[in-house]
Amino acid sequence: MKYFELSNGVKIPAIGFGTYKAAEGDTADVIRTALKVGYRYFDSASFYQTEGYIAKAIKDSGIDRKEVVIATKAWKTEMGYENVKKAFQQSLERLDTDYIDLYLIHWPRRSPDDREWKEIDVETWRAMEELYRAGKIRAIGLSNFLPHHIENLLENCEITPMLNQLEIHPGNMQEAAVRYCHEKGIFVQAYRPIGRGQLFDDVLLKELAEKYQVSVPKLCLRYEYQRGFATIPKASKKEKMLDNLNIFDFEISGTDMYQIDTMPPLGWSGEHPDRERVYFDKEYNNDEKVHKIQLKSELTRLCFMD
């Protein structure tokens, strides 16, 4: 396994395991299998309800807790100084541990019309700085924060976030946010790194996958690694978990990297921290409420529709 180093010296595996929506069915089994095949970084969140499964899987495996990097996040309802301290304690209990490796603020705003987001973010971050200084968290960070959200923290807080987890994959590289983070020394981790399956039929990615004799997911993860991002793919089957973990046996050429860098927008989840969610899936089209949101976001929707 390759590692990346955060600004405070904490090392994290280049490939971790995502646990969102791993809560249905055999979550404990899925996480146990991921541990068995070699994953040593687990991405969770109080919102995912997977913290307990991670704790159990680590305990059952007999692997030393210190060998596993656990990341979890404070949800929108857990923000604010007192709230986040309480939420952190609850995460510790569910994870059955006395420290957390990475603790992140899940979203910068509780909703698009949250007018107090700046104050709430600062209060939340101050509490996290205290927990970090007390040695209860090895690294503190963010998720879904764009430059204007981070600027607010840098102006009003003392510790620069060590990591920002963003939706990043071919077709959605968030170049401006990434450039800003890198300028400030904030490491970027890519979530939804294989576009939750929505990239698999892309002509360019298929062509390149064939050229390198790998799967499209493996091509995406290798591309992200070469761009300097750690990733946290989720998979429920052992074969896919292994495929995603073994990306270090080939290299994408500079020309092919450019082709992926410049491909058209694809596979965006529709989630933006300052906007209502945009829905693309056909299954949602009959829902009147969602239809209105689609119309409100017409411009964005047209840009990303295929």
**Cβ-Cβ contacts under 8 Å for 46 (sequence gap 6 or more):** 72, 73, 74, 75, 78, 87, 90, 91, 94
Residues between 266 and 295 with contacts to ligand NAP, criterion CB under 6 A: none
Task: Name the segment binding ligand NAP (CB under 6 A); options: 81-89, 113-121, 230-238, 291-299.
Answer: 230-238
- Residue among 271 and 306 whose Cβ is closer to ligand NAP: 271
d(C-alpha 123, C-alpha 100), whole Å: 20
Structural tokens at position 52: 């307990």
Residue 194 near ligand NAP by CB under 6 A? yes
- Residue among 152 and 231 whose Cβ is closer to ligand NAP: 231
Residue 143 near ligand NAP by CB under 6 A? yes
Given the DSSP bridges, would you call strands 100-105 and 69-74 parallel, antiparallel or unpaired?
parallel
Residue 215 near ligand NAP by CB under 6 A? yes
* In contact, 283 and 215? CB cutoff 8 Å: no
CB atoms within 10 A of CB 300: 16
Task: Name the segment binding ligand NAP (CB under 6 A); options: 17-25, 81-89, 127-135, 279-287.
Answer: 17-25
Nearest Cα residue to 65 out of 54, 51, 52, 49:
54
User: CB-based burial of residue 258 (10 Å sphere; 0-12 exposed, 13-18 middle, 19+ buried)?
Assistant: exposed
Which residue of 12, 15, 18, 161 would you call a contact of ligand NAP, by CB under 6 A? 18
Minimum gap (Å) between residue 193 Cβ and ligand NAP: 5
Which residue of 33, 244, 294, 297 would you call a contact of ligand NAP, by CB under 6 A? 244
**Cβ-Cβ contacts under 8 Å for 69 (sequence gap 6 or more):** 12, 13, 16, 40, 41, 42, 101, 102
**Cβ-Cβ contacts under 8 Å for 195 (sequence gap 6 or more):** 169, 170, 171, 172, 220, 266, 267
**Sign of the C-alpha dihedral, residues 62, 65, 68, 72?**
positive
- Residue among 62 and 68 whose Cβ is closer to ligand NAP: 68
* In contact, 158 and 128? CB cutoff 8 Å: no
Residues between 144 and 173 with contacts to ligand NAP, criterion CB under 6 A: 144, 165
- Residue among 96 and 243 whose Cβ is closer to ligand NAP: 243
Which residue of 4, 7, 8, 20 would you call a contact of ligand NAP, by CB under 6 A? 20
Which residue of 161, 195, 222, 270 would you call a contact of ligand NAP, by CB under 6 A? 195
* In contact, 199 and 208? CB cutoff 8 Å: no
Which residue of 217, 223, 270, 278 would you call a contact of ligand NAP, by CB under 6 A? 217
CB atoms within 10 A of CB 212: 15
Which residue of 2, 36, 148, 237 would you call a contact of ligand NAP, by CB under 6 A? 237
Minimum gap (Å) between residue 96 Cβ and ligand NAP: 19
- Residue among 210 and 298 whose Cβ is closer to ligand NAP: 210
Which residue of 233, 245, 247, 266 would you call a contact of ligand NAP, by CB under 6 A? 233
Residues in the chain: 306
48 is catalytic: yes
Give the catalytic positions in this structure: 48
Interacting residue ranges for ligand NAP, rule: CB under 6 A:
18-20, 43, 143-144, 165, 191-197, 215, 217, 232-237, 240, 243-244
